[in-house]
Structure 1
Amino acid sequence: MLGLPRDLHPVAWWLWAIGLAAAASMTTNPFVLLMIVGVVAVVVTLRRTDHPWARSFRFYVWLGVAAVVLRVLWRVVLGGGYPGDVVLELPEVPLPDVVRGVTLLGPVTRETLLAGLYDGLRLAAIVICVGAANSLANPKRLLRSLPPALYEIGTALVVAVTVLPQLTQSIQRVRAAQALRAGDTGRVRRLRRLLVPVLEDTFDRSLALAAGMDTRGYGRAGSATPAQRRVTGALVLAGLFGTVVGVYALLDQTAPRVLALPMLGVGVVVAVLGLVNAGRRVQRTVYRPDRWRAAEVGVVAVGVVVGVLGWWVNRYQPAIAYPALTAAPAVSLGALLAAVAGLLAIAVTPPPRAPGVPR
């Protein structure tokens, strides 16, 4: 399956990352979450290219670290609410009766800190999985691979997704230019000299990308009568409503089961019908379209396997998926497989193509 070096279809990497993010969202076990983050880091290291967007992964890692820190601080500021061994005594701030039930500060227990740490790790793992998809997939090729009906939304999404990779490239370019010049050595002044040109260059590049896409016809809706637009909008909204209700009922075990998988399936079918109806009126040509091969199918299969294993652990091993705050977390064979199975993406994918080499 490895074959010659080439770039994988961007949708395949996104589906792989979504599978890992789904598995991370269904557990608060810190060992499992850290293993998922480690698997993502290894795959990104071995399969990313030298393009600018591939260098943004470490920013997502720092964003995940910030999420963990903020989550723990949030638990401390709001008083936690978890009884247990007190590790830090803070004065409690009285609040009016309007916000009864909410406390500020107060005694901080070990269980409160662990609850914030576990929740923060789950959020950080999801953010890092999204960062992995953004680092492995070419955002411009991703836009080209979208169905015609999604070009309007895809244009805005691609511009938004490319801001962080372009910010990374701008920081490297500005720092290299300033290293060749003499200037202020103080941290505050040096930060000001770096921040202004970096932000200006990032916005200029994003606007240039949007202008170039608009010139080439991206985001054009084509011709459609008001009645056709109303039918398409109604189908898409009804499909989204059914999908939201189905996902909520699937996660909430107290909801009627008829609102779970049946409603989710109906919502997805109706949404697809709306997208197909809209796509018939938008004609787009693609130069050298990306093909799905065995490697792409293998990567998607790995993401699906990881997501299914994460769901299985969440459903049949809740004590492993959500460990108690009063005992050390345990790891089962199923949880270990759910975390490590993502490494199979390395075995089923070819190495990335070197820059400048035609694909």
Structure 2
Amino acid sequence: MSGSAAGGDAHVERRSRLPRDLHPGAWWLWALGLAATATATTNPVLLLGVVAVACLTVGLRRSDHPWSGSFRLYLLFGLVIVVVRLVLRVLLGGGVGSTVLLDLPAVPLPGWVAGVTLLGPVTLESLLAGLYDGLRLAALVICVGAANALANPKRLLRSMPPALHEVGTAVVVAVALLPQLADSLRRVRAARALRGVPGGRVRRLRGVVVPVLEDALERSMALAAGMDARGYGRSGSLGRGRRATTGALLLLGLCGICVGSYAWLDQTAPRWLVVPGMLGGVALAALGLWSAGRRVQRTRYRPDRWHAEEAGVALAGLGSAVALRLLVDEPVLHPLVTGAPGISDAAVLAVLLGLAAAVVAPPPVLATDGERADRRTSPGRREAARAGAA
């Protein structure tokens, strides 16, 4: 009896780890939590840890679908952000600090741009400050890129609440721009390689940019036409009373959230405003969204379900941000540029908590799995066809 129970448990465990696509909302909640972790600190060690967590998670749980290849573009974009931030520190006054690395002549500017210095002495402290700020913004962009590489944008659009249908359509199309450009670039480069197109770097760049932009534009138009044919963006009619009620609920909910957030951030505000303002605002906003969603008339075919793995992935990212806020001291979160940045065990564990998403999430469904399955079954089908013909 015990052996059969153990076999059943093993069977359930094997089934739970079968490849499947995770709910896109789980990956976006994880990425937003990881982005909140990055925005909460300027410590370069912690920011590099956030980037490493995002890269490892994408490497372990990324599928081979076209949108999954856009993560490298976000990494390149993050590197460009850091370089531009350092260049701006050199150009627009880098004289804050005492350790002068490069003494450049200052360019006099008119009086109406007082406070802005062009060139001048470049100090180590100023460059470090620019590096810390650039790393934080780059980590934020990379976290968004990780969500784009892991979540299916079409399923994300399908999972949007009815009240956010129109806004969600625009947002999903916008966030899918880079994955679509990456897919177009891959296909254009493959086509040029098959044709054996010669030429230098400038000619190759000129021959790639135009086809990529043209392909992206054509696919965007095809997506817009397909969405319009399926009724996206169309809504039913509501009475004047229902519209007024919905607007009032959303406005009161927004005011409640603003009051609660202000009371939470301002230490001089009454503490009793925090919890009622936040909870009341969220409740009123939820009622307003539910009321607004009733005017959207559309059906869903096989809606995505939320399972334990989705909850674990979302909690991994959100828990990382909460743990960093509550358990890490301020000197570790925002180190001075005059010394080496400090680190603590709690800060490292808080950042590594985001890596739990790669462990909790099931393996992704690969497009090549279906192709291999077709190749495995094709000989049998051919034999069956021959037997039927005989």
Aligned mate of 1:208, from 219, 222, 232: 222
Maintained 8 Å contact 2:235/2:297: no
**Cα shift at 1:86:** 0.5
* Equivalent position of 2:379 in the other structure: none
* Equivalent position of 2:172 in the other structure: 158
* Equivalent position of 2:9 in the other structure: none
Residues 55 and 319 (structure 1), Cα distance of their counterparts in 2 relative to 1, 3 Å cut:
same
User: Which structure would you say has the larger Rg?
Assistant: 2
**Cα shift at 1:318:** 0.4
Which sits farther off after the overlay, 347-356 or 195-204? 347-356
Residues 84 and 161 (structure 1), Cα distance of their counterparts in 2 relative to 1, 3 Å cut:
same
CA distance in 1, matches of 2:259, 2:70: 35
**Cα shift at 1:267:** 3.4
CA distance in 1, matches of 2:64, 2:346: 35
**Cα shift at 1:232:** 2.7
Which sits farther off after the overlay, 134-143 or 81-90? 81-90
Maintained 8 Å contact 1:9/1:292: yes
CA distance in 2, matches of 1:38, 1:273: 39
* Equivalent position of 2:336 in the other structure: 324
Which sits farther off after the overlay, 335-344 or 223-232? 223-232
CA distance in 2, matches of 1:317, 1:244: 27
CA distance in 1, matches of 2:269, 2:93: 31
Maintained 8 Å contact 2:94/2:122: yes
**Cα shift at 1:345:** 1.1
CA distance in 2, matches of 1:13, 1:198: 28
Residues 178 and 101 (structure 1), Cα distance of their counterparts in 2 relative to 1, 3 Å cut:
same
TM-score, scaled to structure 2: 0.85
* Equivalent position of 2:21 in the other structure: 7
Which sits farther off after the overlay, 219-228 or 329-338? 219-228
CA RMSD of aligned residues (A): 2.2
CA distance in 1, matches of 2:96, 2:275: 34
CA distance in 2, matches of 1:228, 1:8: 36
Residues 245 and 167 (structure 1), Cα distance of their counterparts in 2 relative to 1, 3 Å cut:
farther
Aligned mate of 1:190, from 201, 204, 209: 204
* Equivalent position of 1:54 in the other structure: 68
SS of the residue aligned with 2:82? helix
Residues 45 and 226 (structure 1), Cα distance of their counterparts in 2 relative to 1, 3 Å cut:
same
CA distance in 1, matches of 2:45, 2:211: 41
CA distance in 2, matches of 1:272, 1:34: 36
Maintained 8 Å contact 2:250/2:288: yes
TM-score, scaled to structure 1: 0.92
**Cα shift at 1:253:** 5.1
Residues 237 and 167 (structure 1), Cα distance of their counterparts in 2 relative to 1, 3 Å cut:
farther
SS of the residue aligned with 2:104? coil
Q: Is it true that 1:98 corresponds to 2:80 in the alignment?
A: no
Maintained 8 Å contact 1:151/1:220: no
Which sits farther off after the overlay, 295-304 or 349-358? 349-358
Residues 107 and 248 (structure 1), Cα distance of their counterparts in 2 relative to 1, 3 Å cut:
farther
Maintained 8 Å contact 1:24/1:310: no
Residues 26-54 of structure 1 deviation map (CA, whole Å, 9 limit, x = unaligned): 00010111011101101101101111111
**Cα shift at 1:270:** 2.8
CA distance in 2, matches of 1:78, 1:269: 47
Which sits farther off after the overlay, 127-136 or 219-228? 219-228
**Cα shift at 1:237:** 4.3
Alignment of 1:105-116 (within 5 A): 105-116=119-130
CA distance in 1, matches of 2:83, 2:266: 28
Residue ranges of structure 1 left out of the alignment (5+ in a row): none
* Equivalent position of 1:127 in the other structure: 141
Residues 246-301 of structure 1 deviation map (CA, whole Å, 9 limit, x = unaligned): 54664565666566555444433332222111012223221111111111111112
Identity of aligned residues (%): 60
SS of the residue aligned with 1:90? strand
Residues 81-128 of structure 1 deviation map (CA, whole Å, 9 limit, x = unaligned): 522201011121222222222212111110000000001111111111
Aligned mate of 1:223, from 215, 237, 256: 237
Residues 123 and 254 (structure 1), Cα distance of their counterparts in 2 relative to 1, 3 Å cut:
farther
Q: Is it true that 1:80 corresponds to 2:127 in the alignment?
A: no
What is the number of residues matched between the two proteins? 356
Q: Is it true that 1:350 corresponds to 2:362 in the alignment?
A: yes
Maintained 8 Å contact 2:65/2:366: no
CA distance in 2, matches of 1:45, 1:234: 46
* Equivalent position of 2:37 in the other structure: 23
Residues 116 and 190 (structure 1), Cα distance of their counterparts in 2 relative to 1, 3 Å cut:
same
